[in-house]
Amino acid sequence: MKKDFLIKLDSQIDNYKLEMINMQRKLTAVPALDPESGGNGELDKAKVLEELLNENSFHDIKYYNAPDDRVECGYRPNLVLTVKGKNNNRNVCIISHTDIVPPGDLTKWDNDPYELIHDKEKDILIGRGVEDNQQGLVSSFYALKAVVDSEIEIPGDVRLVFIADEETGFKYGLYWLIDNHPELFSKTDLVLVPDYGSVDGDEIEIAEKSVMWIKFTVIGKQAHASRPLSGNNAHRAGANLLVRLDQELHKKFDAENPLFIPSISTFEPTKKESNVPNFNTIPPEDKFCFDCRILPQYDLEEIKNVINGISKSIEGQFGVKVEIDYVMCEQAAPVTSEKDEIVQSLIRNIKNVYNIDAKPVGVGGGTVAAALRKINTPVAAWSKLNGSAHQSNEYCQVSNMVNDAKVMARLILQL
Protein backbone atom coordinates (compact mmCIF):
# COMPACT_ATOMS: atom_id res chain seq x y z
CA MET A 1 0.00 0.00 0.00
CA LYS A 2 2.81 2.36 0.93
CA LYS A 3 4.62 1.65 -2.35
CA ASP A 4 1.48 2.21 -4.41
CA PHE A 5 0.82 5.47 -2.57
CA LEU A 6 4.34 6.75 -3.20
CA ILE A 7 4.07 5.94 -6.90
CA LYS A 8 0.85 7.96 -7.02
CA LEU A 9 2.42 10.82 -5.01
CA ASP A 10 5.45 10.95 -7.30
CA SER A 11 3.23 10.96 -10.36
CA GLN A 12 1.30 13.86 -8.89
CA ILE A 13 4.49 15.85 -8.39
CA ASP A 14 5.58 15.03 -11.96
CA ASN A 15 2.31 16.50 -13.15
CA TYR A 16 3.12 19.77 -11.38
CA LYS A 17 6.20 20.30 -13.55
CA LEU A 18 4.74 23.08 -15.72
CA GLU A 19 3.26 24.80 -12.66
CA MET A 20 6.66 24.71 -10.98
CA ILE A 21 8.29 26.27 -14.01
CA ASN A 22 5.62 28.98 -14.09
CA MET A 23 6.19 29.72 -10.41
CA GLN A 24 9.90 30.07 -11.12
CA ARG A 25 9.08 32.46 -13.98
CA LYS A 26 6.95 34.72 -11.80
CA LEU A 27 9.47 34.80 -8.96
CA THR A 28 12.44 35.45 -11.26
CA ALA A 29 10.70 38.49 -12.78
CA VAL A 30 10.70 40.28 -9.41
CA PRO A 31 14.21 41.16 -8.16
CA ALA A 32 14.65 40.91 -4.40
CA LEU A 33 17.99 42.58 -3.70
CA ASP A 34 19.24 43.52 -0.26
CA PRO A 35 20.01 47.19 0.49
CA GLU A 36 23.72 46.30 0.67
CA SER A 37 23.40 45.29 -2.98
CA GLY A 38 21.58 48.45 -3.98
CA GLY A 39 18.12 46.91 -3.78
CA ASN A 40 14.85 47.68 -2.04
CA GLY A 41 14.39 44.41 -0.21
CA GLU A 42 12.05 41.49 -0.71
CA LEU A 43 8.53 42.92 -0.35
CA ASP A 44 7.53 42.86 -4.02
CA LYS A 45 8.66 39.26 -4.33
CA ALA A 46 6.95 38.33 -1.06
CA LYS A 47 3.66 39.72 -2.41
CA VAL A 48 4.00 37.65 -5.59
CA LEU A 49 4.75 34.59 -3.47
CA GLU A 50 1.74 35.25 -1.25
CA GLU A 51 -0.48 35.55 -4.32
CA LEU A 52 0.81 32.22 -5.67
CA LEU A 53 0.14 30.53 -2.34
CA ASN A 54 -3.38 31.93 -2.19
CA GLU A 55 -4.08 30.79 -5.75
CA ASN A 56 -3.34 27.27 -4.55
CA SER A 57 -5.74 27.56 -1.60
CA PHE A 58 -3.09 28.10 1.06
CA HIS A 59 -4.26 30.95 3.25
CA ASP A 60 -2.63 30.47 6.65
CA ILE A 61 0.18 32.87 5.75
CA LYS A 62 1.69 35.26 8.24
CA TYR A 63 4.13 38.12 7.73
CA TYR A 64 6.88 38.59 10.29
CA ASN A 65 8.37 41.95 9.38
CA ALA A 66 11.86 42.87 10.57
CA PRO A 67 12.20 46.70 10.81
CA ASP A 68 14.74 48.14 8.36
CA ASP A 69 14.57 51.83 7.50
CA ARG A 70 16.97 51.40 4.59
CA VAL A 71 14.16 50.03 2.38
CA GLU A 72 11.14 51.97 1.15
CA CYS A 73 8.51 50.01 3.07
CA GLY A 74 10.54 50.15 6.30
CA TYR A 75 10.76 46.41 6.89
CA ARG A 76 12.07 43.12 5.54
CA PRO A 77 9.26 40.55 5.10
CA ASN A 78 9.54 36.99 6.39
CA LEU A 79 6.61 34.79 5.40
CA VAL A 80 5.45 31.63 7.16
CA LEU A 81 2.93 29.23 5.61
CA THR A 82 1.48 26.74 8.08
CA VAL A 83 -0.54 23.60 7.39
CA LYS A 84 -1.90 21.81 10.45
CA GLY A 85 -1.26 18.11 10.92
CA LYS A 86 -2.66 15.37 13.12
CA ASN A 87 -0.53 16.39 16.11
CA ASN A 88 2.32 18.77 16.90
CA ASN A 89 4.73 16.39 18.59
CA ARG A 90 7.05 16.22 15.57
CA ASN A 91 6.55 19.04 13.11
CA VAL A 92 8.33 19.67 9.81
CA CYS A 93 9.91 23.02 8.97
CA ILE A 94 11.47 23.82 5.58
CA ILE A 95 13.31 27.14 5.30
CA SER A 96 14.17 28.89 2.04
CA HIS A 97 15.03 32.48 1.22
CA THR A 98 13.54 35.04 -1.14
CA ASP A 99 16.47 37.43 -1.58
CA ILE A 100 19.01 37.07 -4.38
CA VAL A 101 22.43 38.42 -5.30
CA PRO A 102 22.87 41.02 -8.06
CA PRO A 103 23.30 39.67 -11.60
CA GLY A 104 26.74 41.27 -11.96
CA ASP A 105 28.12 42.08 -15.40
CA LEU A 106 25.08 41.91 -17.70
CA THR A 107 27.31 41.32 -20.72
CA LYS A 108 28.13 37.91 -19.25
CA TRP A 109 24.49 36.88 -19.44
CA ASP A 110 23.01 35.47 -22.63
CA ASN A 111 19.61 36.93 -21.74
CA ASP A 112 17.92 39.30 -19.30
CA PRO A 113 18.67 37.74 -15.87
CA TYR A 114 15.16 38.61 -14.67
CA GLU A 115 13.40 36.91 -17.58
CA LEU A 116 13.21 33.15 -17.14
CA ILE A 117 14.54 31.08 -20.03
CA HIS A 118 13.43 27.45 -20.28
CA ASP A 119 15.97 25.47 -22.26
CA LYS A 120 13.94 22.34 -22.95
CA GLU A 121 16.78 20.52 -24.66
CA LYS A 122 19.01 20.81 -21.58
CA ASP A 123 16.07 20.59 -19.15
CA ILE A 124 17.17 23.75 -17.36
CA LEU A 125 15.75 27.10 -16.25
CA ILE A 126 18.04 30.12 -16.57
CA GLY A 127 17.72 33.33 -14.55
CA ARG A 128 18.98 35.05 -11.43
CA GLY A 129 17.80 33.21 -8.34
CA VAL A 130 16.45 30.08 -10.05
CA GLU A 131 18.85 27.80 -8.17
CA ASP A 132 19.66 30.04 -5.21
CA ASN A 133 17.15 29.68 -3.64
CA GLN A 134 14.03 29.39 -5.78
CA GLN A 135 14.66 25.73 -6.57
CA GLY A 136 14.36 24.85 -2.89
CA LEU A 137 11.48 27.26 -2.37
CA VAL A 138 9.44 25.91 -5.27
CA SER A 139 10.25 22.27 -4.44
CA SER A 140 9.13 22.71 -0.84
CA PHE A 141 5.86 24.32 -1.86
CA TYR A 142 4.93 21.65 -4.40
CA ALA A 143 5.95 18.90 -2.00
CA LEU A 144 3.43 20.27 0.48
CA LYS A 145 0.82 20.82 -2.23
CA ALA A 146 1.17 17.21 -3.39
CA VAL A 147 0.68 15.87 0.12
CA VAL A 148 -2.35 18.10 0.75
CA ASP A 149 -3.90 17.29 -2.63
CA SER A 150 -3.46 13.57 -1.93
CA GLU A 151 -5.77 14.04 1.08
CA ILE A 152 -3.58 11.87 3.27
CA GLU A 153 -3.35 12.83 6.94
CA ILE A 154 -0.19 14.78 7.73
CA PRO A 155 1.46 13.52 10.94
CA GLY A 156 2.52 16.93 12.29
CA ASP A 157 2.26 20.60 11.46
CA VAL A 158 4.22 21.77 8.41
CA ARG A 159 5.77 25.23 8.21
CA LEU A 160 7.31 26.63 5.07
CA VAL A 161 9.41 29.60 6.14
CA PHE A 162 10.40 32.08 3.44
CA ILE A 163 13.03 34.36 4.92
CA ALA A 164 14.58 37.67 3.92
CA ASP A 165 18.23 38.70 4.15
CA GLU A 166 19.98 35.37 3.63
CA GLU A 167 22.58 36.70 1.23
CA THR A 168 23.98 39.42 3.50
CA GLY A 169 24.06 37.94 6.98
CA PHE A 170 20.59 36.80 8.23
CA LYS A 171 20.12 39.87 10.51
CA TYR A 172 16.67 40.74 9.16
CA GLY A 173 15.77 37.13 8.36
CA LEU A 174 16.34 34.02 10.43
CA TYR A 175 18.28 35.70 13.25
CA TRP A 176 15.46 38.21 13.67
CA LEU A 177 12.83 35.45 13.70
CA ILE A 178 14.77 33.42 16.28
CA ASP A 179 15.15 36.47 18.54
CA ASN A 180 11.60 37.78 18.17
CA HIS A 181 9.51 34.70 17.39
CA PRO A 182 11.24 31.67 18.92
CA GLU A 183 7.90 29.87 19.02
CA LEU A 184 8.35 29.17 15.28
CA PHE A 185 11.18 26.73 15.96
CA SER A 186 11.39 23.70 18.19
CA LYS A 187 14.22 21.32 19.02
CA THR A 188 11.86 18.44 18.16
CA ASP A 189 11.10 19.71 14.65
CA LEU A 190 12.43 18.10 11.52
CA VAL A 191 14.15 21.11 9.95
CA LEU A 192 15.44 21.23 6.38
CA VAL A 193 17.26 24.08 4.65
CA PRO A 194 17.29 23.33 0.88
CA ASP A 195 20.16 25.75 0.23
CA TYR A 196 23.19 23.48 0.01
CA GLY A 197 23.85 20.60 -2.32
CA SER A 198 26.10 18.70 -4.65
CA VAL A 199 25.76 17.73 -8.30
CA ASP A 200 25.09 14.12 -7.34
CA GLY A 201 22.78 15.06 -4.47
CA ASP A 202 24.78 12.86 -2.13
CA GLU A 203 25.86 15.46 0.46
CA ILE A 204 23.79 16.37 3.52
CA GLU A 205 25.29 19.37 5.29
CA ILE A 206 25.28 18.96 9.08
CA ALA A 207 28.15 21.24 10.10
CA GLU A 208 29.73 24.52 9.07
CA LYS A 209 33.04 26.17 9.72
CA SER A 210 33.50 29.41 11.59
CA VAL A 211 33.50 32.42 9.28
CA MET A 212 35.63 35.55 9.41
CA TRP A 213 35.48 38.33 6.83
CA ILE A 214 38.31 40.77 7.44
CA LYS A 215 39.15 44.08 5.78
CA PHE A 216 42.70 45.38 6.14
CA THR A 217 43.61 49.03 5.57
CA VAL A 218 47.33 49.79 5.42
CA ILE A 219 48.11 53.50 5.79
CA GLY A 220 51.39 54.95 4.47
CA LYS A 221 52.31 58.24 2.81
CA GLN A 222 51.69 59.36 -0.77
CA ALA A 223 54.60 60.51 -2.93
CA HIS A 224 55.80 60.71 -6.53
CA ALA A 225 57.05 57.31 -7.64
CA SER A 226 60.34 58.82 -8.79
CA ARG A 227 61.04 59.91 -5.19
CA PRO A 228 59.96 56.91 -3.09
CA LEU A 229 62.01 57.94 -0.06
CA SER A 230 59.78 60.97 0.42
CA GLY A 231 56.75 58.71 0.92
CA ASN A 232 55.87 55.35 2.41
CA ASN A 233 54.45 52.79 0.01
CA ALA A 234 51.31 51.32 1.58
CA HIS A 235 50.94 48.92 -1.32
CA ARG A 236 54.31 47.27 -0.64
CA ALA A 237 53.54 46.94 3.06
CA GLY A 238 50.08 45.59 2.24
CA ALA A 239 51.48 43.01 -0.16
CA ASN A 240 53.88 41.79 2.51
CA LEU A 241 51.06 41.68 5.06
CA LEU A 242 48.87 39.65 2.69
CA VAL A 243 51.60 37.08 2.05
CA ARG A 244 52.48 36.81 5.75
CA LEU A 245 48.84 36.26 6.68
CA ASP A 246 48.40 33.64 3.97
CA GLN A 247 51.49 31.71 5.02
CA GLU A 248 51.35 31.94 8.79
CA LEU A 249 47.64 31.36 9.30
CA HIS A 250 47.70 28.20 7.19
CA LYS A 251 50.84 27.00 9.00
CA LYS A 252 49.59 27.64 12.54
CA PHE A 253 46.01 26.43 12.08
CA ASP A 254 46.72 23.33 10.00
CA ALA A 255 44.41 20.70 11.53
CA GLU A 256 42.26 18.52 9.27
CA ASN A 257 38.75 17.15 9.74
CA PRO A 258 37.54 14.66 7.10
CA LEU A 259 33.89 15.59 7.75
CA PHE A 260 34.46 18.94 6.04
CA ILE A 261 34.88 19.85 2.38
CA PRO A 262 37.68 20.97 2.17
CA SER A 263 39.08 19.26 5.26
CA ILE A 264 41.28 22.20 6.34
CA SER A 265 40.77 25.77 7.49
CA THR A 266 41.03 28.21 4.60
CA PHE A 267 42.33 31.80 4.66
CA GLU A 268 41.68 33.31 1.25
CA PRO A 269 42.66 36.83 0.08
CA THR A 270 39.70 38.09 -1.94
CA LYS A 271 38.61 41.66 -2.64
CA LYS A 272 41.30 44.27 -3.49
CA GLU A 273 40.29 47.92 -3.57
CA SER A 274 41.87 50.39 -6.00
CA ASN A 275 44.41 52.80 -4.59
CA VAL A 276 45.77 55.41 -7.01
CA PRO A 277 44.56 55.97 -10.58
CA ASN A 278 47.98 56.46 -12.20
CA PHE A 279 51.29 54.66 -12.64
CA ASN A 280 53.60 57.19 -11.07
CA THR A 281 52.14 57.78 -7.61
CA ILE A 282 53.07 55.85 -4.49
CA PRO A 283 49.75 54.89 -2.86
CA PRO A 284 49.03 56.22 0.63
CA GLU A 285 46.58 53.40 1.37
CA ASP A 286 46.22 49.73 0.52
CA LYS A 287 42.92 47.95 1.20
CA PHE A 288 42.25 44.24 0.81
CA CYS A 289 40.03 41.55 2.30
CA PHE A 290 40.30 37.99 3.55
CA ASP A 291 37.57 35.35 3.65
CA CYS A 292 38.43 32.78 6.34
CA ARG A 293 36.57 29.49 6.87
CA ILE A 294 37.90 27.91 10.02
CA LEU A 295 37.42 24.46 11.53
CA PRO A 296 35.13 24.59 14.61
CA GLN A 297 37.87 23.41 16.98
CA TYR A 298 39.65 26.77 16.75
CA ASP A 299 38.60 29.74 18.87
CA LEU A 300 38.27 32.84 16.71
CA GLU A 301 39.87 34.98 19.42
CA GLU A 302 43.02 32.90 18.97
CA ILE A 303 42.90 33.61 15.23
CA LYS A 304 42.50 37.33 15.92
CA ASN A 305 45.52 37.33 18.22
CA VAL A 306 47.71 35.85 15.49
CA ILE A 307 46.38 38.34 12.91
CA ASN A 308 47.02 41.24 15.28
CA GLY A 309 50.55 40.01 15.90
CA ILE A 310 51.35 39.77 12.19
CA SER A 311 49.90 43.23 11.60
CA LYS A 312 51.97 44.76 14.41
CA SER A 313 55.07 43.16 12.91
CA ILE A 314 54.32 44.73 9.51
CA GLU A 315 53.74 48.12 11.15
CA GLY A 316 57.17 47.95 12.76
CA GLN A 317 58.93 46.68 9.64
CA PHE A 318 57.48 49.23 7.20
CA GLY A 319 56.53 52.18 9.41
CA VAL A 320 52.87 52.02 8.40
CA LYS A 321 49.61 51.77 10.31
CA VAL A 322 47.35 48.74 9.86
CA GLU A 323 43.62 49.02 10.59
CA ILE A 324 41.64 45.78 10.90
CA ASP A 325 37.87 45.60 10.45
CA TYR A 326 36.25 42.26 11.30
CA VAL A 327 33.22 42.61 9.03
CA MET A 328 31.93 39.17 10.02
CA CYS A 329 33.10 37.02 12.88
CA GLU A 330 30.89 33.96 13.47
CA GLN A 331 32.06 31.11 15.67
CA ALA A 332 30.91 27.75 14.31
CA ALA A 333 27.63 26.39 15.65
CA PRO A 334 27.28 22.92 17.18
CA VAL A 335 27.22 20.02 14.72
CA THR A 336 23.94 18.28 13.97
CA SER A 337 24.28 14.62 14.92
CA GLU A 338 24.46 12.14 12.06
CA LYS A 339 21.95 10.06 14.04
CA ASP A 340 19.31 12.81 14.24
CA GLU A 341 16.04 11.94 12.56
CA ILE A 342 16.26 14.78 10.02
CA VAL A 343 19.55 13.35 8.74
CA GLN A 344 18.38 9.74 8.76
CA SER A 345 15.09 10.70 7.07
CA LEU A 346 16.97 12.44 4.27
CA ILE A 347 19.33 9.49 3.82
CA ARG A 348 16.34 7.12 3.50
CA ASN A 349 14.32 9.29 1.16
CA ILE A 350 17.19 10.43 -1.07
CA LYS A 351 17.92 6.75 -1.57
CA ASN A 352 14.26 6.10 -2.33
CA VAL A 353 13.94 8.90 -4.90
CA TYR A 354 17.42 9.18 -6.42
CA ASN A 355 18.80 5.71 -5.61
CA ILE A 356 22.01 7.19 -4.21
CA ASP A 357 23.68 6.84 -0.82
CA ALA A 358 23.88 10.30 0.70
CA LYS A 359 26.39 11.10 3.42
CA PRO A 360 26.63 13.82 6.09
CA VAL A 361 29.30 16.47 5.45
CA GLY A 362 30.62 19.70 6.89
CA VAL A 363 31.22 22.74 4.68
CA GLY A 364 32.94 26.09 4.66
CA GLY A 365 30.06 28.03 3.16
CA GLY A 366 27.54 29.53 5.52
CA THR A 367 23.82 28.72 5.41
CA VAL A 368 21.01 29.78 7.73
CA ALA A 369 21.18 26.28 9.21
CA ALA A 370 23.96 27.57 11.48
CA ALA A 371 21.59 30.06 13.10
CA LEU A 372 19.34 27.24 14.30
CA ARG A 373 22.22 25.05 15.43
CA LYS A 374 23.29 27.90 17.70
CA ILE A 375 20.04 27.42 19.63
CA ASN A 376 20.63 23.66 19.64
CA THR A 377 17.99 22.89 17.03
CA PRO A 378 19.11 19.99 14.79
CA VAL A 379 18.93 20.95 11.13
CA ALA A 380 20.20 19.61 7.83
CA ALA A 381 20.84 21.45 4.58
CA TRP A 382 20.29 19.52 1.36
CA SER A 383 19.25 19.82 -2.28
CA LYS A 384 20.48 18.34 -5.53
CA LEU A 385 22.20 21.35 -7.09
CA ASN A 386 24.36 22.07 -10.11
CA GLY A 387 26.34 24.76 -8.31
CA SER A 388 25.51 27.70 -10.59
CA ALA A 389 24.50 30.03 -7.75
CA HIS A 390 25.88 33.60 -7.99
CA GLN A 391 27.19 32.93 -11.50
CA SER A 392 26.21 34.51 -14.80
CA ASN A 393 23.52 32.42 -16.54
CA GLU A 394 22.57 30.83 -13.22
CA TYR A 395 20.46 27.77 -13.91
CA CYS A 396 18.31 25.17 -12.24
CA GLN A 397 17.87 21.61 -13.48
CA VAL A 398 14.14 21.03 -13.81
CA SER A 399 14.45 17.35 -12.91
CA ASN A 400 16.25 18.31 -9.68
CA MET A 401 13.46 20.71 -8.75
CA VAL A 402 10.82 18.04 -9.34
CA ASN A 403 12.65 15.17 -7.65
CA ASP A 404 13.71 17.26 -4.66
CA ALA A 405 9.99 17.88 -4.10
CA LYS A 406 9.50 14.11 -3.90
CA VAL A 407 12.14 13.84 -1.20
CA MET A 408 10.53 16.72 0.71
CA ALA A 409 7.06 15.18 0.40
CA ARG A 410 8.35 12.04 2.09
CA LEU A 411 9.91 14.19 4.82
CA ILE A 412 6.58 15.94 5.37
CA LEU A 413 4.91 12.54 5.72
CA GLN A 414 7.75 11.48 8.05
CA LEU A 415 8.44 8.31 6.10
Residues forming the active site: 99, 166
Supply angle C-alpha 232, 238, 244, rounded to 5. 130
Asked if residue 262 has a cis previous peptide bond (ω within 30° of 0), the answer is yes
Which helix (DSSP H) or strand (DSSP E) does residue 5 occupy?
Answer: helix 2-15
Q: How far is the C-alpha of 124 from the C-alpha of 21, rounded, in Å? A: 10
Q: How far is the C-alpha of 349 from the C-alpha of 353, rounded, in Å? A: 6
Quick check: helix, strand or coil at residue 269?
Answer: strand
Q: How far is the C-alpha of 342 from the C-alpha of 87, rounded, in Å? A: 18
For residue 214, which of 299, 321, 285, 287 has the smallest C-alpha distance?
287
Residues in the chain, overall count:
415
Q: How far is the C-alpha of 296 from the C-alpha of 374, rounded, in Å? A: 13
Q: How far is the C-alpha of 350 from the C-alpha of 354, rounded, in Å? A: 5
Q: Residue 381 pairs with which residues in a beta bridge?
A: 193, 205
Is 230 buried (19+), middle (13-18) or exposed (0-12) by CB count in 10 A? exposed
For residue 26, give every residue at least 6 positions away whose Cβ sits within 8 Å of its Cβ, in sequence order, or none.
48, 52
Asked if residue 133 has a cis previous peptide bond (ω within 30° of 0), the answer is yes
Residue 225 is classified by DSSP as T
